Amino acid sequence: MPEAGGRVFIVGAGPGDPGLITVRGLECLRAADVVVHDRLVGKRLLERVREGARLIDVGKAPRGGGPGQEEINLLLYREAVRGNTVVRLKSGDPFVFGRGGEEAAALAAAVRMPVLAQLARGRIRGAQAEMQPLRQPWTGDGRTVERGEPPRQ
């Protein structure tokens, strides 16, 4: 994959109230050339995107429909290769049932990609430390305990 000239920001929209998105997330929305968003992201938040930015809805409808994950990953990559600043706006926290980890992993080799998790979630520390978040294939019914230790020498 050739390296992209643009960037992709994975941004958590929070619980739905536009007043609860992080300041940095809002700055990214206002600077974006392209916003690729989920169906559950509120319209009031999308109204804060800068004029002239393209909005691309990749939300999945109940009982199927909408683009698959590979198609979304390719869309993000193609827009970044074109030199665009892309915001992948996901409802809630992008790494809690949001497949943000899969998107980040798919783009990591070719795209500059800061991660902006929602501050209300405990995972922001891990995202800032560039720790690998849980990815969808490993989540499921039941309980998940996350623990990390430095490797033994």
Q: Are 81 and 2 in contact (CB under 8 A)?
A: yes
Of 38, 43, 57, 93, the catalytic one is 38
Alpha helices by DSSP H, listed for 17-56, are 23-31, 43-46
Rg for the chain (alpha carbons), in Å? 15
Q: Is 60 a catalytic residue?
A: yes
**In what helix (H) or strand (E) does residue 10 lie, and over which residues does it extend?**
strand 7-12
Q: Residue holding tokens 């809002």? A: 26
What phi and psi values does residue 148 have, to the nearest 5 degrees? -135, 145
Of 33, 43, 57, 60, the catalytic one is 60
**In what helix (H) or strand (E) does residue 78 lie, and over which residues does it extend?**
helix 69-81
From 125, 133, 131, 128, select the one nearest 103 (Cα to Cα): 133
Q: Are 23 and 5 in contact (CB under 8 A)?
A: no
Active site residues: 38, 60
